[in-house]
Amino acid sequence: MTAAALALSLAACAPESGPTVDLPAQVDAAFADDTQAQLQAAVDRAVAASGASGAVVGVWAPWAGTWLAGAGTVAPGAAGVDDGASFTAGSITRAMTCDVLYGMVADGVVKLEDSVATYVPGVPALEGITLAQLCNSTSGLAPYLPAVFGRIIATPDRVWNERELVGYGITRAGTAPGSFADSDTGYVLLGIALERASRVSIEALYEKYVFDPIGMPDTSLPASAAASMHGLWSPNNAEGAVECAAPIDLSDLSPTVEHTAGGVVSDLEDLGRYTQALALGVRSYDKGGRFDAPLPAAGDAASWFTATGGTYQAGTLVGQYGSIPGFLTAAFADRNTGMTVVVALNNSRASDVLVRALAWELAAITSKAPAATGQTAPDAGLPWTADDMAAQVTAAAVCPIP
């Protein structure tokens, strides 16, 4: 098939306008006051612990209610955060890039076992690496961000070429192929390969396989900074302590810094729908064993914490979390109930463990939310408690918690 014919084929298969997936019915109610108070307290503590000026958080429990909230300000001394604020989705983008892969596999454009060298030739370090390994983060490729982080902080608006970023990653020491090791290099490389295989831009591929089917009108992979929340990063002061009160403003950070590993910009409503759809596997191409063979998410990870298919699995939750310059983000949904949590903190100085723990704390609180009138609460079955995760937030703190 010629490149032109393939592009026309993809366009012809594009979904009709509007979402095409069926998601669980969501009760139109607010959470009980006690549940809301617990959620708010957890978010406020994490904002302080991370040095963020603000946060956005969305929680959906189909049987109990919805809670969307903004906390703090979009930047130090700026306006308050609205729950409709846009923010950089960060590592959640990685799951979307894998969505495109699986959609293209279902359409017969590529195969999971295809060598990335077929689409990105002439790079010896890529020989033997498959598209599936890039999606699963089992390629052994090292991340590139540590090699360019200083330059990103100094000139956040610089536009980066994807191949240059991949070049930094493949020249760094990686890990043995076959085990899970999260790598932005792999997801950026996967985006390049999918564009070349389809002869269609990654922006159009996201629209076809992710944004349009789910109904995400406020989500995009922009060419330049587009989030209404400012990304922040707190450096060390002269005494070596974290400068919590005077972070560096990264609001003009170019999305090309992380591109298909973290460049998507979205909001709570869109990412809530996306994460629920991802966990429940409601799209036509969400079949085929994407999550069937998970690997330990870390060498010392609990047995219930695994990773594969561009996502993490935590008990019955499926989602993503991580850090890019300016933001800590996390999004998880329960594959049994559809319960969903999305959260973004606008300072990336702390470890991404902090935002992961916050998301899981919110999930633990929500899993025990009493049912709204006429609804039935499911059995709560997460392998941790809210207190467990609150302690992890505290342990990961880089700034004082009042």
User: What is the tens place of the pLDDT at every residue in 211-242?
Assistant: 999 999 999 999 998 999 999 999 999 999 99
Put residue 323 in one of left, alpha, beta given phi > 0 → left and psi -120 to 50 → alpha.
beta
CB of 63 closer than 8 Å to CB of 378: yes
In the block, residue with structure tokens 């599936």: 132
Closest among 125, 101, 313 to 190, alpha carbons compared: 101
Measure Cα distances from 395 to 234, 330, 357 in Å: 18, 18, 10
239's tokens: 């005494």
pLDDT at 8: 39
CB of 325 closer than 8 Å to CB of 233: yes
DSSP for residue 208: I
pLDDT at 9: 42
User: Any idea which of 7-21, 127-141, 159-173, 187-201 has the lowest mean pLDDT?
Assistant: 7-21
90's tokens: 């960060």
What beta strand segments (E) does 73-213 contain?
Answer: 87-88
Measure Cα distances from 277 to 97, 262, 286, 329 in Å: 15, 19, 9, 18
Torsion of CA 277, 81, 53, 77, to 10 degrees: 160
How many whole angstroms separate alpha carbon 149 and alpha carbon 172?
14
pLDDT beyond 90 at 397: yes
pLDDT at 6: 37
User: Any idea which of 17-31, 42-56, 212-226 has the lowest mean pLDDT?
Assistant: 17-31
CATH architecture of 25-240+249-395: 3-Layer(aba) Sandwich (3.40)
What beta strand segments (E) does 224-304 contain?
Answer: 232-233, 248-249, 265-266, 295-296
114's tokens: 């295809």
pLDDT at 312: 98
SS3 288: coil
How many whole angstroms separate alpha carbon 308 and alpha carbon 206?
20
Closest among 339, 352, 402, 399 to 94, alpha carbons compared: 352
Full DSSP string of 28-55: --BPPHHHHHHHHHHHHHHHHHHT-SEE
How many residues are given for the chain?
Answer: 402
pLDDT at 3: 38
Residue range 141-163, pLDDT digits in tens: 999 999 999 999 999 999 999 99
* Burial class of residue 376 (count of CB atoms within 10 Å of its CB; 0-12, 13-18, 19+): exposed
User: Any idea which of 129-133, 252-256, 288-292, 319-323 has the lowest mean pLDDT?
Assistant: 288-292
How many whole angstroms separate alpha carbon 48 and alpha carbon 340?
23
How many whole angstroms separate alpha carbon 394 and alpha carbon 354?
8
How many whole angstroms separate alpha carbon 98 and alpha carbon 191?
9
At residue 15 the predicted structure's pLDDT band, cuts being 50, 70 and 90, is: very low
| Strands lying side by side in the sheet with 317-324 | 65-72, 54-61, 340-345, 327-334, 317-324, 311-314, 305-308, 295-296
Task: Give me the chain's average pLDDT, please.
Answer: 94
340: Cβ contacts below 8 Å, ≥ 6 apart: 58, 59, 60, 272, 275, 276, 279, 331, 332, 333, 334
Quick one: angle between helices 352-367 and 33-50, nearest 10?
170
Measure Cα distances from 316 to 154, 267, 279 in Å: 40, 24, 9
